[in-house]
Amino acid sequence: MDECAKQYIPAPDRYESMSYRRCGTSGLRLPAVSLGLWHNFGDLTPVEHMKSMLFTAFDHGITHFDLANNYGPQPGAAERHAGEILSHDFAGHRDELVISTKAGYLMWPGPYGDWGSRKYLLSSLDQSLERLGLDYVDIFYHHRPDPNTPLEETMGALAQAVSSGKALYVGLSNYDGPALERATTILNELHCPFIICQNRYSIFDRTVERNGLKDAASRLGKGLITFSPLAQGLLTDRYLQGIPADSRIKVDGRFLKSDALTEGRLAQIRELNRLAGERGQTLAEMALAWILRDDSVTSVLIGASKSQQILDNIGALSNTSFTAEELAAIDRASLG
């Protein structure tokens, strides 16, 4: 019988090797490595494959699964598939899991299925809960700032999500430092448990350092969970010899464009790979460890297309310490 067809029994030692970090000043702790269900939990992926990845993650202490209303393909598919697996295979473990979802990007046609209005956010959350088969999510995020909706309206919708019992905490994704400051003031006045920011961050993308988000989150006591830590695969050994035929660039191309892999970028990747080798790590392990070296980061959000990638990424936890010389060399290789 296929392993995934058997009744899933989580590994009894699943909490022994994973480290858990407090989410800002809140009481919630997240695993240092969390699993995002962005690319590979849509209708194109076999369900047994999804199960294998979720089982592998949970067996190794990854208790946080991150979704959004529009993750697919098709939009809503990731939540629907996750909900089916959660109800069947994790039914006795809901209280051991942190499930998050988001709303803020286009989800359905017309004027009420996008951005940050009260109508969109609360309707989207109801739809997400139905697809997930849950009474509540642990974290509900606004997925991106809306320049045309008053921030008070968007934050008020997040507060209602909590007061209605449909979310335990709220978060903001893709905000910058000044917007985070304003949102925090509003949510504090509403006594809403806003605990976390989700932003892109990697050796190659340090926007959160430049736009004030990282410093503001730390100062305001908010957790920081970072996505795209491997720069869509650039910070791995996958492209050291050029573009493989089955790479995301050639197969999909929506998120990683072929013009991203210039000769200059390839030279940077090869130098970073050399530095990782000197540390006894793969490039991917070093890239994840580089983010996790910082205590202001609560968790790094990984994506995976196979279970082995999850295990490989967890390997980064074995060494998250860097010397000043190593950090300087990484800066020279990636920023020069």
Residue type, 76: G
Average pLDDT over residues 313-332: 98
Is 123 part of a structural domain of the chain?
yes
In the predicted structure, residue 33 carries a pLDDT above the cut 60: yes
Instruction: Name the band, by pLDDT with cuts 50, 70 and 90, for residue 269.
Output: very high
More confident residue, 259 or 50: 50
Q: What is the DSSP letter of 118?
A: H
Query: In the block, which residue shows the tokens 């980064």?
Result: 316
Question: What is the per-residue pLDDT for 240?
Answer: 86
Average pLDDT over residues 121-134: 98
Tokens found for residue 272: 């970073």
pTM for this prediction? 0.94
For residues 327 and 330, what is the distance between their CA atoms, to the nearest angstrom? Answer: 5
Give the angle 83-57-315 at the CA atoms, nearest 5°. 155
Q: Count of domains in the chain?
A: 1
Is 312 part of a structural domain of the chain?
yes
For residues 23 and 297, what is the distance between their CA atoms, to the nearest angstrom? Answer: 9
Residue range of the domain that includes 72: 21-233+286-317
Average pLDDT over residues 259-283: 94
Is 49 part of a structural domain of the chain?
yes
Instruction: Look up the CATH number of the domain holding residue 141.
Output: 3.20.20.100
Residue type, 315: G
Q: What is the DSSP letter of 15?
A: T
- Using CB atoms within 10 Å of the CB of residue 297, give its burial: 0 to 12 exposed, 13 to 18 middle, 19+ buried: buried
Q: DSSP string spanning 250-303? A: HHT-SSS-GGGS-HHHHHHHHHHHHHHHHTT--HHHHHHHHHHTSTT--EEEE-
For residues 63 and 10, what is the distance between their CA atoms, to the nearest angstrom? Answer: 12
Residue type, 16: E
Sign of CA dihedral 177, 180, 184, 186: positive
Each residue's pLDDT tens digit, 214-229? 999 999 999 999 999 9
For residues 331 and 275, what is the distance between their CA atoms, to the nearest angstrom? Answer: 11
Is 238 part of a structural domain of the chain?
no
Closest CA to 298 of 163, 169, 166: 169
For the chain, how big is the Rg over CA atoms in Å? 20
How many residues in the chain?
Answer: 336
Question: What is the per-residue pLDDT for 255?
Answer: 57
Closest CA to 82 of 159, 122, 137: 137
Instruction: Give CA torsion, residues 158, 160, 161, 165, to 10 deg.
Output: 150
Is 165 part of a structural domain of the chain?
yes
In the predicted structure, residue 5 carries a pLDDT above the cut 60: no
| SS3 sequence of 165-188 | CCEEEEEEECCCHHHHHHHHHHHH
Each residue's pLDDT tens digit, 285-300? 999 999 999 999 999 9
For residues 313 and 253, what is the distance between their CA atoms, to the nearest angstrom? Answer: 23
* Count helices and strands in the chain by DSSP H and E runs: 12, 10
Tokens found for residue 58: 């949970």
| SS3 sequence of 21-39 | EECCCCCCEEECEEEECCC
Is 31 part of a structural domain of the chain?
yes
Question: What is the per-residue pLDDT for 1?
Answer: 34
Question: What is the per-residue pLDDT for 253?
Answer: 55
Is 175 part of a structural domain of the chain?
yes
Is 187 part of a structural domain of the chain?
yes
Each residue's pLDDT tens digit, 68-113? 999 999 999 999 999 999 999 999 999 999 999 999 999 999 999 9
Give the H or E element holding residue 223: strand 223-227
More confident residue, 232 or 125: 125
